[in-house]
Structure 1
């Protein structure tokens, strides 16, 4: 497949006639080279994009490009190989590929449940857009883009009396669901699959803003130096004033991880305390807190609709796939769990396509049986 073939696919994308498989592959390809979106490219810009790809293929040592799947091989070359091989695979699927597709599992989506203070439970995936509830001067609204917003009246924003009970809501995502909520103080929270967040419907003036998290969430906290924002989990507390960070506290992970993108946060776990900087991640294993530098893009890729991993072992990658597609994972060969993988794959495609891209490593094979994925060598 030559440059003209790739240009043909880009033309199809621009015309809106590209298949789902071609779109997914193009998105991954463009992400690797930080190229502009295909639909905004004119002919000259498109050729400049190919020149940039050509520069990478010449292995310019000044250009940092992510490797895809196979270590020890030129990164950009491997990227193009994966792109072209994947396209050929999708256009000419083998018998095994066709069988896998017939047993396919659709991706997750914008799904969550909201439990109000009075115990009423609302399915946000099926609820109509608009006002969902009113609670003591608080209006809860579902927007057309799937966001949940809390609006506070002037009365509700007044300091609560000592006898006033604080009302709490809980938003929880199932396996295969994500959701975004704008809290009463304007802070934004993205919940990953199989997660929950409990929070007050009003944050009291000049007091700590406390929320409780299970699972994983990305936070963009509204700055308020008089009211620290606390994220409590079953093993630690993250304290901030206003910042962007990700907390992963899934119980099936070996450690609790807090990753900072902007600002600063203090992580408290028992008698251990740690202040981390942007680009760092705190790791809580047992009672021990440590900090390490990380690629933050890998950590928050889920929020942007991607599986993204750098030298991450297969078992960890499959846990993410399990949560997003709501499937169980079974290993026919335990020794393959530690195989390192590096790559980017879109969230918004059926599981068979994700698994087939992983199979291009030639190190792993998958079989779909209902909602169970069997992994073998």
Structure 2
């Protein structure tokens, strides 16, 4: 049986939170001949993708994993100035994907999946404009003055425009896409797939800087002590002065999650009238508000698994299968039908970097031993 301390090193490596010292200890433990079999069995039990129907040589897979851990340790030593979640690592699942791609060149026949939905901008008067990510377009106000400029995948608003009342725009990003928004105060907002954000084209002096989100976004808020920045998500308000944080508030999810990267935020339940104090987060903490019991819980978390989506990556740490499907639907703009109900409550740990939906489905099917078919954007999972 693997010691609990060693198991933590393995999990930290997979979730990309291991330090150089952690990797040193993990390598030393694996290199002991008595531990190689334990390590192989652990991989088989927790990362079944490595030992699926093709049954590759366990020694070869173990060697590849060990080589990758050494490579990551050396990379970290060369990049000591890189802090927090910004360093790169290769997860066990990613290695396995590449390994299976080499073992078997045959792929299921699948239609090419291409996102067709467009990013839209709704103006104050209800007019909806299509955002073309390949063009540069001026955003005009009701009186014809230029309020902002859209260049490629970023929309920036001008703080010098003259506005005497709050005028709202709503930016909507469909499944399969991401977009960047710079508000009039300079606050930078990264919008994830399936997200809608309502915001003033210019913040008004003397009023709070308040925006409304449905979906997920990463906020890098410009500090302004006189004008607190407030993000409203359903029945929740997140209040800040200047900080970086991620909020996930999709309608289909059971929780609204706020992860603080740096600075400080306060979380308020907007429906509470009994004098409850707000929850204040510290960096590397997750504030999770339950839509069922209306309670906020705070816990320590690994930042990167919550913000990796900004680079198109998915980091999953013991995530239920149904939740994985939701994330894949958003990221790849597909729809799942799961006929294998026994999978719903099973949890998986995995990492996907640059894989397309074909590679992702191939990996998941080998890990969980299911079959699937893809018809256009519809994916059916069978036993």
TM-score clears 0.5: yes
Q: Following TM superposition, by how much is the alpha carbon of 1:56 offset from its aligned partner in structure 2, in angstroms?
A: 4.3
1:305 aligns with 2:294: no
For the residues of structure 2 that align with 1:293 and 1:200, how far apart are their CA atoms?
A: 33
Q: Following TM superposition, by how much is the alpha carbon of 1:68 offset from its aligned partner in structure 2, in angstroms?
A: 8.0
Q: Following TM superposition, by how much is the alpha carbon of 1:31 offset from its aligned partner in structure 2, in angstroms?
A: 10
1:291 aligns with 2:298: yes
Which residue, out of 278, 284, 288, partners 1:279?
284
For the residues of structure 2 that align with 1:372 and 1:191, how far apart are their CA atoms?
A: 25
Could you list the per-position Cα deviations for residues 155-199 of structure 1 after superposition, in whole angstroms to 9, with x for gaps in the alignment?
527xx3xxxx32111100112222110000000111111111111
Q: Following TM superposition, by how much is the alpha carbon of 1:200 offset from its aligned partner in structure 2, in angstroms?
A: 0.7
Q: Following TM superposition, by how much is the alpha carbon of 1:209 offset from its aligned partner in structure 2, in angstroms?
A: 0.2
Which residue, out of 76, 79, 93, partners 2:65?
76
TM-score of the pair, normalised by structure 2:
0.72
Q: CA contact under 8 A between 1:219 and 1:245: conserved in structure 2?
A: yes
Equivalent position SS for 1:215: strand
Q: 1:1-377 residue pairs with structure 2 within 5 A?
A: 56=27, 59=30, 71=46, 76-77=65-66, 78=92, 82-89=96-103, 92-94=104-106, 97-99=107-109, 102-106=110-114, 111-125=118-132, 128-134=135-141, 138-144=146-152, 146-153=153-160, 156=162, 160=164, 165-269=165-269, 270-271=271-272, 272=276, 273-285=278-290, 286=292, 287-346=294-353, 348-377=354-383
Equivalent position SS for 1:224: coil
TM-score of the pair, normalised by structure 1:
0.73
Q: CA contact under 8 A between 1:70 and 1:361: conserved in structure 2?
A: no
Q: CA contact under 8 A between 1:106 and 1:349: conserved in structure 2?
A: no
For the residues of structure 2 that align with 1:229 and 1:308, how far apart are their CA atoms?
A: 29
Runs of 4+ in structure 1 deviating by more than 4 angstroms, as ranges, are: 29-34, 55-58, 67-70, 72-75, 77-81, 134-138
Q: Following TM superposition, by how much is the alpha carbon of 1:119 offset from its aligned partner in structure 2, in angstroms?
A: 2.5
Could you list the per-position Cα deviations for residues 20-54 of structure 1 after superposition, in whole angstroms to 9, with x for gaps in the alignment?
xxxxxxxxx999699xxxxxxxxxxxxxxxxx99x
Could you list the per-position Cα deviations for residues 107-154 of structure 1 after superposition, in whole angstroms to 9, with x for gaps in the alignment?
689x5211122322221135721423246655311124x11011122x
Q: What 5-or-longer segments of structure 2 have no aligned partner? A: 1-12, 33-41, 49-61, 67-91
Could you list the per-position Cα deviations for residues 292-318 of structure 1 after superposition, in whole angstroms to 9, with x for gaps in the alignment?
111110111111210111111111111
Q: Following TM superposition, by how much is the alpha carbon of 1:72 offset from its aligned partner in structure 2, in angstroms?
A: 7.7
Q: Following TM superposition, by how much is the alpha carbon of 1:79 offset from its aligned partner in structure 2, in angstroms?
A: 5.2
Q: Following TM superposition, by how much is the alpha carbon of 1:375 offset from its aligned partner in structure 2, in angstroms?
A: 2.1
For the residues of structure 1 that align with 2:346 and 2:233, how far apart are their CA atoms?
A: 31
For the residues of structure 2 that align with 1:339 and 1:268, how far apart are their CA atoms?
A: 33
For this pair of structures, how many residues does the alignment match?
312
Could you list the per-position Cα deviations for residues 301-350 of structure 1 after superposition, in whole angstroms to 9, with x for gaps in the alignment?
1112101111111111110111122222111121111222222212x543
Q: What 5-or-longer segments of structure 1 have no aligned partner? A: 1-28, 35-51, 62-66
Could you list the per-position Cα deviations for residues 249-280 of structure 1 after superposition, in whole angstroms to 9, with x for gaps in the alignment?
11111111111111111111132521111111
Equivalent position SS for 1:360: helix
Q: State the Cα RMSD in Å.
A: 3.4
Cα 1:138–1:243 shift into 2, 3 Å: farther
For the residues of structure 1 that align with 2:43 and 2:239, how far apart are their CA atoms?
A: 36
